[in-house]
Amino acid sequence: MEIDQLVREIDEPSPHGIASALSMLIRTGELAPGTRLPTVRAVAAALGVSPGTVSAAWNGLAGAGLLTTRGRAGSFVLEQPTPWLTPRSHTLADRAPSPTGAPPSLDLATGMPDPALLPDLKASLDRALPRHASVTTYLQPPLIPDLEGPLRELWPYSPPSLTVVDGAMDGLERALRAVARFGDRVVVETPTFPMLLDLLEHLRLMAVPAAMDGSGMLPDSLESALGSRPAAVVLQPRAHNPTGASLTAARAEELAGILARHRYGRDAVVIEDDASGLITAAPKVSLGQHLPHRTLHVLGFSKSHGPDLRIAALGGPTGAIDRIVAHRVLGPGWTSRMTQAMLHHLLEDRDAVATVRRARYVYFTRQRELTAGLRAVGIDVAPSDGLNIWVPVRDERAAQVALAAHGISVSLGSAFQVGDADGPLAQIDGPHRGDHIRVSLGQYGEGFPGLAAVIGQAAGQG
């Protein structure tokens, strides 16, 4: 929309009047998502008002989620948020508009696995249907007996009890509800998965950040965070999202020792989110190898076997698992036994096992290929595992916009950081802080020539 046409729609040149007029244009679709708005100074000059008046209107629209300002790149109309998405999910869904307005040709922002690397579910469903097509009682154990053995073989230690839940995030929520209460502190890595932070806010729990490096949470940072008297410590032991780092055995032992010795660490429960475990090259490592009676470990299968299976395993102390199972009886009751039977088949079937093994190799190869390319163009990227690479950039919004011009979408690193960079948590430092973009390799596929060079060029923008 030309500036003259935009100005004609504004009846009252006050902050409220300007914001109301633009809000109507956005909600009716006359200003489409991705539209770049004229500059504040240009609109102010056309209306005959001060730039501060227009800036106040722009800020109000940004606060309402109708537009976003990307520094020198300008201000853009946002897609209208989906009501059921959590606050940080909106940030993850934020895409810089391409110059043509077309969707990205290469989506490296979603974090989804490559569909071509997932096992075929049809044979598993065909096998599960005859045995679990009907439920004869509501009082059967929630975990089918056939599945427990294969799950225990995948565990990094021998868990006192096991159950299944509806995905890794469901497991995290149920673990947190079992061990924490309103107002409790929970130590988390920074950066971390944004939806974990939304979950903590929803449960009225306070996130206490601890810095990390390529070997996991930093011991000194954990020790400092334990001064907040947390109820739990949440960490990702393998293929950390977003950095791709994996916890080493030595670091796990060191962290467990701190929790065992610290006066405020002795009662804190460890919750581990191993959402990408089966597609990672890293060995199985867990604080549960040292603290088995106060570690709740979540093993997800969405990345390895299919997001729509919605199943994860949860293992830990018998008392905590029993409380979780009892609480589920009052809600979903159990995770579909057909889905459990499908997972059992997938974990035992030779073809499915080979498919997951191939996926692990392909993701590892993509990681090494892109990491080597980025280093070749001067970007210092740490070795990663799983689906994500954490790329340092000069200005993350400028880098996102520059990549959008090439038809590439990535996630802003700020969505993964704990605390406001200008607030009291800015003192938390570590090698993964500062401006970054998260590049996810699930949709990378084979051969995007020059991808590393394009990312390297975008990294220097700003």
Question: Residue 11 is part of a domain; what is its CATH number?
Answer: 1.10.10.10
Q: Report the predicted TM-score, pTM, of the whole model to 2 decimal places.
A: 0.81
Same domain, 315 and 387: no
Of 348, 370, 405, which one is at a domain's C-terminal end?
A: 348
Count, in order, helices (H) and strands (E) of the chain.
17, 15
Rounded to a whole number of angstroms, the distance between the first and last alpha carbons of the chain is: 27
Instruction: For 216-242, write each residue's pLDDT tens digit.
Output: 999 999 999 999 999 999 999 999 999
Same domain, 150 and 297: yes
Domain span at 257 = 120-348
Same domain, 381 and 326: no
pLDDT at 381: 92
Q: Does any domain span residue 85?
A: no
10 Å CB burial of residue 284 (0-12, 13-18, 19+) is middle
54 DSSP 8-state letter: H
pLDDT at 423: 37
Q: How far apart are CA 247 and CA 321, in angstroms?
A: 24
User: CA distances (Å), 101 to each of 26, 69, 79, 94, 190, in order?
Assistant: 16, 17, 12, 14, 33
Same domain, 336 and 408: no
Place of tokens 């309402």: 64
- The total of other beta-carbon atoms located within 10 Å of residue 385's CB is 22
Same domain, 112 and 124: no
Point out the residues of the chain with pLDDT beneath 50: 420-426
For 314, the token pair is 């949860």
Amino acid present at 385:
D
Same domain, 289 and 376: no
The values of phi and psi at residue 195, to 5°, are: -70, -25
Q: Does any domain span residue 75?
A: yes
Contact in structure between 187 and 268 (CB atoms under 8 Å): yes
Same domain, 165 and 303: yes
Sheet holding 411-412, edge to edge: 388-392, 436-440, 411-412
pLDDT at 97: 59
Provide the Cα torsion 338, 86, 297, 259; round to 10°.
Answer: -170
Of 348, 376, 395, which one is at a domain's C-terminal end?
A: 348
Same domain, 376 and 323: no
pLDDT at 61: 82
Same domain, 286 and 175: yes
Same domain, 227 and 281: yes
Q: How far apart are CA 379 and CA 183, in angstroms?
A: 41
pLDDT at 420: 42
Angle between helices 168-179 and 318-329 (to 10 degrees): 110
* Structural domain count of the chain: 3
Q: Does any domain span residue 97?
A: no
Q: How far apart are CA 195 and CA 114, in angstroms?
A: 21
Of 348, 370, 395, which one is at a domain's C-terminal end?
A: 348
Same domain, 210 and 266: yes
Same domain, 256 and 308: yes
CATH number of domain containing 202:
3.40.640.10
